[in-house]
Amino acid sequence: MIRLETSLRTGINNNQLYEIPSQERLKDTLVRKRHKMATPRTAMSPLYNCHGFTFACHRTRIIESQEVQCILRDDKWEEVELGAVLPGDIVVYYGEDGDANHSGIVVQTDSLKVPIICSKWGFSGEFIHQLNDVPNLYGPTTIFYRCQL
Amino acid sequence: MTKLSKTDLGEILEIFFLANTPVSLFVGMNRSDAVQKLKRSPAGELLNYYDRITSRKERSELVIALAYAVLCAILLRAQDGDRVTVDATRLLWGEQIRVRLERSYIRSSLISTGNSPPAVHVASSVSVSSTVPKELLGPDGRAAASWRND
């Protein structure tokens, strides 16, 4: 665990992992094959997860939904409509139970205003992908946010 | 105990590999064929299996994924009333999954209506009593003839 705080100095629970087991390397290959349209950006890493990528500069893993909500609140991330999304905004994918099961950063919007996202997929690497081109474990609801600090 | 196919094992390994949070790991496992199959086994057998695989000194990632699947099956069986004591802390996210599931179990138990199914009464025939007044009554109980526009 590293020291991680919001702008209001609220501590955020996190943890780091270091091992990359062999079978996961095989699984990584499979995942990459399945999402051919997604561009791999980095190799796999257990050190950080999607929320660690979006909110903690790749440094650690944030695994609790309430921690994500705390960051969104303390750091004044305000909702943005899909049509108004700009690069630099973030997207949080929510499950049907309200769990923030994935997140990423908007890096581009295409000619049809479809956001292109950079996100980290579990133990796998970072990918540049279209909003809905993600494993079906993520979503189905997506909400965009812009920091208003 | 229910045997899992290679496809089942591949599926749970992928869920374990891609899950970012304990809740999404549970949701993914719950949706998987592997956990649905495991759920059919008796809780005692699942618990023995869980104990065996989690007490191994060296646990491969496939064994860990399988342990999560078995844990989810045990906890889901517990929700159906087949309660056993399981040490979820043997897995990194085990306790978070157990607590989360227990909370949702308590919440749904609070609105439980018991084991007996709700009684449904269907009228097989409609009988009209001879004592029913033949006169049409208004909302105030007075006969239509006596209504007045005040």
Task: Answer whether the bond into residue B139 is a cis peptide, omega within 30°.
Answer: no
SS3 A116: strand
Asked if B20 lies within 8 A of A63 by C-beta distance, the reply is: yes
Instruction: Residue B75: give the domain boundaries.
Output: 6-105
Asked if A138 lies within 8 A of B27 by C-beta distance, the reply is: no
Interface list for B 63-92 with A (CB within 8 A): none
What total of structural domains would you count in chain B? Answer: 1
For every residue of A39-101, DSSP letters joined together read EE-S---SS--HHHHHHSTTS-B---HHHHHHHHHHTTEEEE-GGG--TT-EEEEE-TTS-EE
Q: Number of A:B CB contacts under 8 A? A: 70
SS3 B132: coil
Question: What is the rounded distance in angstroms from the CA atom of residue B38 to the CA atom of residue B32?
Answer: 10
Domain positions in chain A are 22-147
Q: What is the pTM of this model?
A: 0.79
- Taking residues A126-147, what's their average pLDDT? 96
Asked if A99 lies within 8 A of B96 by C-beta distance, the reply is: no
DSSP category for residue B136: P
Report if residue B85 sits inside a domain: yes
Report if residue B64 sits inside a domain: yes
Q: What are phi and psi of B119, to 5 degrees?
A: -80, 135
Q: What is the pLDDT of residues A26-80, one digit of tens each?
A: 777 778 888 999 999 999 898 999 999 999 999 999 999 999 999 999 999 999 9
Fold classification of A22-147 (topology level): endopeptidase fold (from Nostoc punctiforme) (3.90.1720)
Q: What percent of chain A has pLDDT over 70?
A: 96
- Nearest Cα neighbor of B16 from B95, B94, B69, B86 is B69
Residue of B84 and B66 predicted with greater confidence: B66
Question: What is the rounded distance in angstroms from the CA atom of residue A139 to the CA atom of residue A103?
Answer: 9
Report if residue B135 sits inside a domain: no
Residue-level length of chain B: 150
> H-helix or E-strand containing B101?
helix B94-110
Are B42 and A84 in contact by the 8 Å Cβ rule? The answer is no
Report if residue B13 sits inside a domain: yes
CA distance A111 to chain B (A): 30
Interface list for B 99-118 with A (CB within 8 A): none
Instruction: Tell me what pLDDT residue A31 has.
Output: 84
Instruction: Tell me what pLDDT residue B124 has.
Output: 53
Asked if A65 lies within 8 A of B18 by C-beta distance, the reply is: no
Question: What is the rounded distance in angstroms from the CA atom of residue A127 to the CA atom of residue A41?
Answer: 5
Asked if B18 lies within 8 A of A99 by C-beta distance, the reply is: no
Instruction: Tell me what pLDDT residue B145 has.
Output: 47
- Taking residues A115-136, what's their average pLDDT? 95
Contacts of B14 in chain A (CB under 8 A): 27, 30-31, 135
CA distance A8 to chain B (A): 24
Q: What is the pLDDT of residues B73-128, one digit of tens each?
A: 999 988 877 778 889 999 989 999 998 887 775 554 444 444 444 455 555 555 44
CA distance B65 to chain A (A): 11
Question: What is the rounded distance in angstroms from the CA atom of residue B42 to the CA atom of residue B32?
Answer: 18
Q: What angle do CA A88, A140, A29 make, to 5 degrees?
A: 80
Q: What is the pLDDT of residues B3-50, one digit of tens each?
A: 889 999 989 999 998 999 999 999 999 999 999 999 999 989 999 999
Q: What are phi and psi of B67, to 5 degrees?
A: -60, -40
pLDDT bucket at B140, cuts 50 / 70 / 90: low
**A107, pLDDT greater than 80:** yes
Asked if B28 lies within 8 A of A137 by C-beta distance, the reply is: yes
SS3 A28: helix
Report if residue B52 sits inside a domain: yes
> H-helix or E-strand containing B113?
none
Instruction: Tell me what pLDDT residue B131 has.
Output: 47
Report if residue B74 sits inside a domain: yes
